[in-house]
Amino acid sequence: MVLSFGIAVLAAFAVHIEAAAQSPLPDTPQVEARVNALLSKLTLDEKIDLLSGVNKFYIRSMPSIGLPALRMSDGPMGVREWGHSTAYPGGSALAATWDPAFARQMGASIGRDARARGVSFLLAPGVNIYRAPVSGRSFEYLGEDPVLAAQIAVGFIDGVQEQGVIATVKHFAANNEEYNRVEVSSDLDQRTLHELYLPAFEAAVREAHVGAVMDGYNPVNGIHPTENAALNCAILEKQWGFRGIVMSDWGAVHHAVAAANSCLDLEMPSGEYLNRNNLLPAIRAGKVSVAIIDDKVRRILREAVEFGLFDRPQPAPNRNLDNETDRKVALQGALEGAVLLKNQDNLLPLEASKTKVLAVIGPNATPAVYAGGGSSNVTPYAAVSVLSGLTDYLAGKAEVEYDRGLPDLTALSKATEYTFDGKPGVQLQLFANANFQGTPFRTLMVPNIDPGSMAAILKQDGTLLAGIQAMRFTANYKPHSAGAYLFLTSGGGSQAYASGQDKYTLTVNGNRIVSQAPFEQQAPLATYRDLPAAEPLAIQFDYVPMSDRAYPRLAISATADLVSQRAREIAAKADAVVVAVGFDPSTEREGMDRSFNLPYGQEVLIRAIARINPKTIVVLNGGAGIDMHGWVTTVPAILDQWYPGQEGGRALAQLLFGEYDPEGKLPMTFDRTWDESPVRHSYYAKPRAIGKDAKEPTFTYNMAGAMLTGRMDRGVNYTEGLLNGYRYYAGSKEKPLFPFGFGLSYTAFAFGHLHVGSVNSNGLDISADITNTGKREGAEVLELYLGLPSRHVPMPERELKGFQKVRLAPGQIAHVTLHVDRRDLSYYNVPSQSWKLDTGEVRVYVGDSASDTSLTGSFKLQ
Ligand code: BGC
């Protein structure tokens, strides 16, 4: 049987979607008349009051016009703020489904959850384009390609808004890194901005009619988004015709008049700047016009009218807060989003009948790692871990043995043995200045360098005794044997990450080996050194707390000691081993960047277990690329689950045992090493020499293994331009570890019958067949790339222009037609600020990853 997919079929599909629950009203003259009538009843004071939030997550009520308080909530993975809620897969998992229809279903579920909690604004989706694996929030976003991100975002927003909830697309714009996120300016040329970093926002506005846009923290070309008229007024409102609300990220406003005149409508979470004290005098002085204030208020009222917020209570009745429908959607996302990266000799799927003992090892096996950290992190009613998913699945059929495999941070720092002056322990000196100058005002001994050792210098409430500006830990550490050693530093307390802006340096035998800059939040840093046996090392750990709390930590361990004995034993006796590793909310989160390498010890664990048991399957958590070059060849199977949401463990069992065929495809390129990444020279701000210390390294920052010294510049120059991700690799000799769009299946597919239609004023149709040539049902994605002519401007070798996922039984064929419109064939012409079509030959590539396109063709643009 031949299935047909394409524009006609997609249109029919739309009709079958469940009748919309509370679709917003269209933007009509009637709506505008009502908005104007409401506006006319407000005093200037009341209007100004509407321009800022209150109580963290509300627009305030305005009883004089019957406006209720409008509640907001994060975010992309579920409804965060108002109690427990279903936790759905993260953005990279959602994008890995390559399934906009599923995105719509997930959006609808979250929209219903929001209504059940009385939420009117959902602060999602996040659509910032992926540049580098180290960026801490990639897990919330939708990958590296604007076409994929746009289609997933549109699906999600449609789903949310059909439930009567306003979606908020964020963070406008070019918010592509987390370290020092409020300061670092994304400096990029207009063509790159328009072709890569804006299209997902544009589609949210033009196709999905999103109700709100959130301006990001980072300056763009030197100007904060909340006062960036070029972005908010010229592009968003004028070019794209956005009629909704431009809100600030939380605390992202820096100037009242500049923000007011740059099309920012709503300051969140409260009116630090957009308040009566600032705006009334500015209006009187003629710096801000009443017309501008009215426009902002109109936008807020317009969304409230269109979404029915004046006319019905927002909490939807008859909605169970925790229900089977949503759990199924979360499960479906975890199933569809998981990407099978490697499956040597078809080790997977495992056969339950042949698996008598399964070993489950690794820090990510339990508790469930369903999400990264920060404002997207939802508290679910229950989350299924890798361990419980597999144990439940195998109950009564096989034995499951578990071990964490690696010590946790606290165990590791407590177990590190130091001496000072021949006695066990560490000398701690306290300074009344932050530069370690002069004599310490107090010196004491502590057992080790761990938050638990701080008791003697804390007040009862857990804060530091007054006057402590800097702490110096001094000790000797004696390696018990020659070999590789881990030095693990962190500023975190019960959480692994540092929540303040603490800075620290670690010096070993007088050489500085780690320096942490005082950024907003910080991941633990793992540094490895080869040490000779039994040479005592002189350790100095200098820690400068930036608040009245401090959680300094240093752990040192031979890497040979990291993997537990029990993990080795259960691996040896098992029929197969699942090693569950990767990042978690403490190592990958909003507000900080993460390492490209797996967190400490995990590579050592993978290699050790794979040596013991050749049937080792690595299951990964993480929102982005992971440096695997040191271990990828040592294991036969790798499955990336991203952050799979609360049903991750259940999905994993179904995937590993072949009840569900893996179908996820990478939404970003996985670089082999940081040195090969196209943004290796342009991700970190350049070091900046400061004052007379110009030659002295002030801070180093080494998340990607790129040791940087010196205080950093304010701006990051996107020198790679359009050549981000696969756009770079397609024209380079370097090959990524795993290409964009890649993902294995248990079945097999073949592409054939490429047909390139003729070009007319609307563009053209391109079609091809996909056949399931394997023995199992499965889904495949047809990916269409075009190489546009480079007559006037250089073009990337290929760019994704469309895709379609199809689900096929063995032997079944799908005929897929994709429409390419004129905009898809154009480039952004900077002088004319418009899209232009170039003449010449267009190359056509069809396949199932950016570097595996078995069908090729071409056509001419005249
Ligand atoms: C984040 C936003 C989030 C907001 C409210 C900010 O720190 O950047 O994504 O929506 O907080 O929680």
- DSSP tag of 452: G
Q: Which helix (H) or strand (E) holds 335?
A: helix 324-337
249 noted as active-site residue: yes
Q: What is this structure's pTM?
A: 0.95
> Ligand 1 centre and the CA of 375: distance in Å?
6
- DSSP tag of 197: I
The Cα–Cα gap between 734 and 672 comes to 9
Q: Please tell me which residue in 145, 249, 584, 593 is annotated as part of the active site.
A: 249
* Residue 169, CA distances (Å) to 157, 194, 247, 266 in order: 8, 17, 10, 14
* Residue 690, CA distances (Å) to 185, 681, 697, 711, 724 in order: 19, 21, 10, 7, 31
Asked if residues 80 and 292 have their Cβ atoms less than 8 Å apart, the reply is no
Nearest atom (ligand 1) to Cα of 75: 10
> Is the CA virtual torsion 316, 317, 320, 324 positive or negative?
negative
Nearest atom (ligand 1) to Cα of 171: 9
**Whole-number pLDDT of residue 534:** 77
> Ligand 1 centre and the CA of 123: distance in Å?
8
Asked if residues 527 and 514 have their Cβ atoms less than 8 Å apart, the reply is yes
> Ligand 1 centre and the CA of 468: distance in Å?
32
Looking at the DSSP assignment, which residues form a beta bridge with residue 427? 445, 474
Collapsed DSSP state (helix, strand, coil) of residue 404: coil
Ranges of CATH 2.60.120.380 domains, the chain? 409-560
Asked if residues 821 and 806 have their Cβ atoms less than 8 Å apart, the reply is no
The Cα–Cα gap between 404 and 581 comes to 10
CA angle 715/721/724 to nearest 5° reads 105
> Ligand 1 centre and the CA of 518: distance in Å?
21
Asked if residues 522 and 421 have their Cβ atoms less than 8 Å apart, the reply is no
Which residue from 59, 74, 377 has its CB within 8 A of the most atoms of ligand 1, so it is best to mutate?
74
> Ligand 1 centre and the CA of 82: distance in Å?
15
Q: Identify the residue whose C-alpha is closest to ligand 1 atom 7.
A: 250
Q: Identify the residue whose C-alpha is closest to ligand 1 atom 8.
A: 249
Q: Identify the residue whose C-alpha is closest to ligand 1 atom 6.
A: 250
Instruction: Quickly list H helices, 621-737.
Output: 648-656, 726-729
Q: Identify the residue whose C-alpha is closest to ligand 1 atom 9.
A: 375
Asked if residues 156 and 642 have their Cβ atoms less than 8 Å apart, the reply is no
Ranges of CATH 3.20.20.300 domains, the chain? 29-306
Angle between helix axes 29-40 and 290-306 (nearest 10 degrees) is 120
Which residue from 214, 249, 267, 589 has its CB within 8 A of the most atoms of ligand 1, so it is best to mutate?
249
Ranges of CATH 2.60.40.10 domains, the chain? 739-861
Collapsed DSSP state (helix, strand, coil) of residue 633: helix
> Ligand 1 centre and the CA of 424: distance in Å?
45
**Whole-number pLDDT of residue 17:** 37
What does the radius of gyration of the chain's CA atoms come to, in whole angstroms?
28
Please provide residue 419's backbone torsions phi and psi, each rounded to the nearest 5 degrees: -130, 155
Q: Identify the residue whose C-alpha is closest to ligand 1 atom 11.
A: 250
What tokens appear for 349 in the block?
């799927």
Nearest atom (ligand 1) to Cα of 80: 12
- DSSP tag of 223: B
Neighbours of 737 (CB within 10 A): 18
> Ligand 1 centre and the CA of 493: distance in Å?
23
| Beta-strand relationship, 749-756 and 764-772 | antiparallel
Residue count of the chain: 862
Question: Minimal CA–CA distance to 577: which of 604, 602, 609?
Answer: 609
**Residues sharing a CB contact under 8 Å with residue 739, sequence separation 6 or more, in sequence order:** 666, 669, 670, 726, 729, 849, 850, 851, 852
Asked if residues 132 and 45 have their Cβ atoms less than 8 Å apart, the reply is no
- Cβ burial of 762 (10 Å; 0-12, 13-18, 19+) is exposed
Superfamily of domain 329-406+562-656: Glycoside hydrolase family 3 C-terminal domain (3.40.50.1700)
Q: Identify the residue whose C-alpha is closest to ligand 1 atom 3.
A: 375
SS3 annotation, 792-855: CCCCCCCEEEEEEEEEECCCCEEEEEEEECCHHHEEEECCCCEEEECCEEEEEEEECECCECCE
Asked if residues 576 and 613 have their Cβ atoms less than 8 Å apart, the reply is yes
**Whole-number pLDDT of residue 535:** 84
> Which residues of the chain fall below pLDDT 70?
1-20, 492-500, 520, 686-713
Q: Identify the residue whose C-alpha is closest to ligand 1 atom 2.
A: 249
> Ligand 1 centre and the CA of 837: distance in Å?
38
Question: Minimal CA–CA distance to 189: which of 790, 826, 794?
Answer: 794
The Cα–Cα gap between 779 and 372 comes to 27
The Cα–Cα gap between 193 and 228 comes to 14
Asked if residues 210 and 204 have their Cβ atoms less than 8 Å apart, the reply is yes
The Cα–Cα gap between 617 and 596 comes to 20
Question: Minimal CA–CA distance to 331: which of 648, 654, 659?
Answer: 648
Asked if residues 34 and 298 have their Cβ atoms less than 8 Å apart, the reply is no
Which residue from 57, 141, 589, 590 has its CB within 8 A of the most atoms of ligand 1, so it is best to mutate?
590
Ranges of CATH 3.40.50.1700 domains, the chain? 329-406+562-656
29-306: which CATH architecture? Answer: Alpha-Beta Barrel (3.20)
Nearest atom (ligand 1) to Cα of 168: 10
> Is CATH 2.60.120.380 correct for 409-560?
yes
Nearest atom (ligand 1) to Cα of 217: 8
**Whole-number pLDDT of residue 695:** 41
The Cα–Cα gap between 481 and 680 comes to 36
> Ligand 1 centre and the CA of 353: distance in Å?
47
Q: Identify the residue whose C-alpha is closest to ligand 1 atom 12.
A: 375
Asked if residues 657 and 393 have their Cβ atoms less than 8 Å apart, the reply is yes
Please provide residue 166's backbone torsions phi and psi, each rounded to the nearest 5 degrees: -80, 125
Asked if residues 524 and 572 have their Cβ atoms less than 8 Å apart, the reply is no
Using one digit for the tens of pLDDT, what is the confidence trace for 725-759? 999 999 999 999 999 999 999 999 999 999 999 99
The Cα–Cα gap between 166 and 24 comes to 9
**Whole-number pLDDT of residue 319:** 78
Please provide residue 245's backbone torsions phi and psi, each rounded to the nearest 5 degrees: -100, 130
Give domain 739-861's CATH number out of 1.20.1740.10, 3.50.50.60, 2.60.40.10, 3.40.50.2300: 2.60.40.10
Give ligand 1 pocket residues (Cβ under 6 A).
74-75, 123, 170, 249-250, 375
In our burial notation (b when 16+ CB lie closer than 10 A, e otherwise), range 213-252 reads bbbbbbbbbeebbbbbeebbbebbbebbebbbbbbbbbeb
Nearest atom (ligand 1) to Cα of 126: 9
